[in-house]
Amino acid sequence: MSNETTQRFPQLFQPFLLLTAGLTGGLVMAVEVLGARVIAPFFGVSLFVWTALIAVTLLALAAGYVTGGRWADRSGSPALLFSLIAASGVLLLLVPFAKAAVLQAALPLGLRWGAFIGALALFGPPLFLLGCVSPFLVRLAAREWSQLGRTVGLMYAISTAGSFLGTVLTGYYLVAELGLSRAFHVSGALLLALSAVYFALFRGQMAALLLPMVALLAASIPLQQGKVVLADGTVAQVVDSRDSYYGHVQVVDYRGEKGHIREMLIDGQIQGGIDVATGQSIYEYSYMLEHLTLASNPGGKRALVIGLGTGTIPRRYAARGIETEVVDIEPAVVAAAHTHFGFPASQRTHLIDARYFLATAKTRYDYIILDVFSGDSTPGYLLSREALELVRARLEPGGVLGINLIGSLAGERRMTASVMRTLEAAFPWVRIYPLYIPGSGESMGNISIVAGIGEPLDELPALDETGLPLPVRDGLRRALAQRYVWNGSSEGIVLTDDYNPIDVIDLTLKEAIRRGILDATPHEILLSGTTDAASGRALAA
């Protein structure tokens, strides 16, 4: 062992190395968990994003292991090790400031390669440096060859325990309580503090204690304010924002000559929007699902809405005197709907996973609405045959299921075909109503699907247009007039819990959906961080 570590407090050095193993192991996993949330607003939370992030983590660590081992053999200097740790901390502090430029530069590469290159540029360097730590620690701690096996085992055990704690604390606490930017600041500060303690305690270089000041400086620099003026003069501004357990929830206001519009976004995906002056939804799909379900089963008394969003559908059901319950797993969405979209606090809401609720609930409903999105599409585990059979079991005789899907009816339509075929396997009848005109140049969009237990209506009654906004009314008239006949179920497969490749079907379509999301919302809005602490608490209340 180098003399530079034995001159001061040698009895503390080996325990300090164990602490280093645990802390750096934990922060490797923290970076991986946080990284997915950084990439999500631009590239979603699909299987490809997680694959890219895991691949980058493994590549960076592997390169770090090899390089760190060589440096450890050549130098064996603890000073070099803790300098590398400090450099990794600085790189983590820079992530909140660099993410905008990096992710925008990666966009032209598409969903898969864009996510990979973006993750590599942002997280590859700090993970590489953290990968250098393990071989250095083994080199420094193994005083005798006879103890090498035990030493390596102990180091990896502590590092793995640190990884476990890093994963749990990041997923359960850091993201939701601090937000992404502050979580990166805390991670970088911990690495800088670890390095500073080494240099101060074991080298007597007290000036190193100034290193954590770099983290404080970084945390004091203002980030994106979430406000931008569009080309037509409309002012877009984030009025509430929070990194929650399940996604980055934002409430965005658009003020301009055409009025005042408010939307809810999760990881960049629009979950709904209202005209603030009237409180009415500006999107056709909510009215379409309401009309289709009520027309298919007139006189129903009880409804279940899975996926709250802005709360438009349950509010309209309740206004008709229908006893309505809501299931949503995301507390921040429920809080935002209450605070910003007029969803009544008295409305019965279950904060629970939808699949678990369907499996355990005893109540039967006349109407069930499935309007859930994770990233760019409905989670596959809610569209498997087993899940849909659970839905059917919760319906009264004559009950109806309404689904909001984003997909295509031409070209890449295997995902839509698979959902339709799975519905046909679970329900006696299924009908489909696209909210765009297939073959008119629009290749994809919202699709309303209705499936039921009783007899389907041959003719839907006329749309009740009372109070509907004019643009919405015209879109619904057009959609209902199409009388679209689905003939593509043979192209799909029956989705099951055992085989459900919905995340990897129609990749080009999914990339187009993500591009549409990016075109619909200014990048400054997508990249804006969590609002101040008071706002964050209000949203999570």
Averaged pLDDT in 10-residue chunks for the chain of 541 residues: 53 85 94 88 76 93 95 88 95 91 86 89 96 89 65 85 90 79 90 92 82 77 74 90 82 92 90 92 93 93 96 94 95 94 94 95 96 80 95 96 90 88 95 80 82 84 82 87 77 92 77 76 74 37 29
pLDDT at 62: 96
What is the H or E stretch that residue 228 is in?
A: strand 227-229
pLDDT at 51: 87
Of 3.40.30.10, 3.40.50.2300, 3.40.50.150, 3.10.150.10, the CATH number of 280-503 is 3.40.50.150
Give the Cβ contact number of residue 329 at 10 Å. Answer: 21
3-state SS class at 232: coil
3-state SS class at 402: strand
Are 355 and 387 in contact, with CB atoms under 8 Å apart? yes
pLDDT at 14: 80
Angle at 408 between CA 498 and CA 327, to 5 degrees: 55
Which regions of 257-378 does DSSP assign to beta strands (E)?
259-266, 269-275, 280-281, 302-306, 323-327, 348-350, 365-370
pLDDT at 537: 34
What is the H or E stretch that residue 401 is in?
A: strand 395-407
d(CA 44, CA 350): 26
275: DSSP letter: E
pTM of the model: 0.82
Give the Cβ contact number of residue 99 at 10 Å. Answer: 25
pLDDT at 538: 33
Of 430, 456, 434, the C-alpha closest to 445 is 434
467: DSSP letter: T
For 493, phi then psi, to 5°, come to -125, 160
Where exactly are the structural domains of the chain? 3-220, 280-503
Q: What is the CATH number of domain 3-220?
A: 1.20.1250.20
pLDDT at 41: 79
pLDDT at 189: 92
pLDDT at 540: 31
pLDDT at 440: 61
Q: Could you give the C-alpha distances from 99 to 120, 172, 453, in angstroms and in order?
A: 12, 23, 49
d(CA 383, CA 361): 18
